[in-house]
């Protein structure tokens, strides 16, 4: 065992002096019960060419003491503490300190397969035209057991709806396809732990914003999807742990406030990326896709907020008489058991993008 040495408030261990390939970022605040498992899944990775940056927001549950002890034994760790400004400022602080070509945000209560970084990094190395590598997600409970009694990933994402056929196939999705899929208000990447990110991408997307609270990463993910090609790596996984203290535990996904946050995030992402998009795509978005998708999001949001069947029927009748044309068509389509808008949308967007000369999805391997 290596001899322990003292750790300063900001510690950078010298290591071998070799530039790391991956910067693993662990923002932490009071997740001591999960840290041993989190760090074990990093130390046991088959890919070992990494640095580990740990930003602790002055935890008071023993986390910082545990992290300090680890850092005396691991030369590739850099650890420091900073103020409690929220999860996304902590992510940004880690990213600013990163030196690797790739960034992996390892939320401190989650884990990953031992070959996760190896397979994601290999995919990006073999496909330099891609800035994101994306893997499946395993949803686990507080004890680390796979959740079996409730819908889990890919439910709630486009992979659980219009992209089910691509779930287990290696493929590339070309920008702006993934970003446009966010117009459904469904996630493409449900957890940041599913992504290995080429660090240079942050120069184009900017930092993670926090103004929309604990769902603000949706905004960054949409911007990334509008700007970056993504390679899907189906044969590894990361986890998302469900527990009472996580950021998203108290979100009311059916509230008007929640819906408005997503409308604002979508609008902000599109406006931020306008200048980088093909002018013909911008014209089509302005003429059709932005307005129709917002109308559809509001319609389905209204349905979800009406658990009573009678109230839903009245709402649908009103929309059939007074709603947007796309909403009226959707109601009529559903009467004939035609697929829902969210299930059709990925194929419709793909067909539209193909009209500009290339298919946004291509299988590999």
**CA distances for 160 relative to 94, 167, 330, angstroms:** 32, 8, 20
- pLDDT on residue 12: 41
- Angstrom distance (rounded) from CA 309 to CA 304: 11
- Cα 52 to the center of its chain, rounded Å: 20
- pLDDT on residue 72: 97
- pLDDT on residue 147: 84
- pLDDT on residue 11: 41
Those residues with Cβ within 8 angstroms of residue 5's Cβ, 6 or more apart along the chain or in another chain: 72
Model's pTM, two decimal places? 0.91
Q: What is the pLDDT of residues 228-268, one digit of tens each?
A: 999 999 999 999 998 766 555 445 666 889 899 999 999 99
- pLDDT on residue 254: 65
Count other C-beta atoms under 10 Å from residue 143's C-beta. 7
- Check if the beta carbon of residue 104 is closer than 8 Å to that of residue 24: yes
- pLDDT on residue 9: 39
Q: How many CA atoms lie less than 13 Å away from 329 in the CB half-sphere?
A: 8
- pLDDT on residue 153: 85
- pLDDT on residue 256: 86
pLDDT 10s digit of each residue in the chain, 365 long? Answer: 333 333 333 344 434 467 899 999 999 999 999 999 999 999 999 999 999 999 999 999 999 999 999 999 999 999 999 999 999 999 999 999 999 999 999 999 999 999 999 999 999 999 999 999 999 999 998 888 888 776 778 988 999 988 999 999 999 999 999 999 999 999 999 999 999 999 999 999 999 999 999 999 999 999 999 999 999 999 999 999 987 665 554 456 668 898 999 999 999 999 999 999 999 999 999 999 999 999 999 999 999 999 899 999 999 999 999 999 999 999 999 999 999 999 999 999 999 999 999 999 999 97
**Burial of 184 from C-beta contacts in 10 A (0-12 / 13-18 / 19+):** buried
- Check if the beta carbon of residue 178 is closer than 8 Å to that of residue 225: yes
- Angstrom distance (rounded) from CA 269 to CA 264: 9
- pLDDT on residue 60: 97
């Amino acid at each position: 065992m290596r001899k322990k040495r003292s750790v300063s408030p900001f510690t950078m261990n010298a290591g071998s002096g070799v530039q790391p390939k991956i910067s693993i970022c662990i923002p932490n605040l009071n997740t001591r019960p999960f840290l041993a498992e989190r760090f074990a899944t990093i130390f046991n990775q088959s890919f070992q060419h990494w640095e580990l940056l740990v930003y602790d927001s002055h935890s008071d549950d023993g986390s910082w003491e545990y992290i300090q002890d680890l850092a005396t034994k691991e030369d590739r760790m850099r650890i420091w503490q900073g103020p409690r400004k929220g999860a996304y400022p902590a992510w940004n602080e880690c990213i600013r300190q990163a030196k690797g070509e790739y960034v992996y945000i390892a939320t401190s209560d989650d884990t990953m397969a031992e070959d996760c970084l190896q397979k994601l990094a290999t995919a990006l190395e073999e496909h330099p035209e891609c800035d994101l590598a994306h893997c499946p997600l395993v949803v686990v409970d507080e004890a680390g057991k796979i959740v079996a009694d409730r819908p889990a990933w890919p439910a709630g994402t486009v992979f659980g709806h219009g992209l089910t056929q691509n779930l287990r196939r290696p493929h590339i999705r070309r920008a702006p396809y993934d970003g446009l899929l966010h117009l459904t208000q469904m996630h493409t990447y449900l957890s940041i732990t599913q992504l290995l990110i080429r660090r240079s991408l942050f120069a184009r997307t900017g930092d993670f914003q926090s103004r929309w609270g604990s769902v603000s990463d949706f905004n960054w993910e949409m911007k990334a999807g509008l700007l970056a090609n993504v390679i899907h790596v189906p044969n590894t996984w990361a986890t998302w742990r469900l527990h009472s203290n996580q950021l998203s535990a108290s979100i009311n996904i059916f509230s008007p406030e929640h819906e408005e946050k997503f409308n604002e995030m979508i609008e902000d992402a599109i406006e931020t990326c306008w200048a980088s998009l093909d002018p013909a795509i911008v014209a089509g978005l302005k003429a059709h896709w932005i307005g129709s998708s917002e109308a559809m999001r509001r319609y389905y949001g209204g349905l979800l907020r009406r658990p009573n069947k009678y109230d839903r029927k009245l709402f649908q009748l009103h929309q059939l008489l007074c709603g947007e044309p796309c909403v009226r068509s959707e109601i009529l389509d559903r009467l004939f058991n035609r697929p829902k808008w969210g299930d059709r949308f990925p194929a419709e967007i793909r067909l539209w993008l193909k009209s500009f000369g290339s298919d946004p999805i291509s299988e590999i391997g």
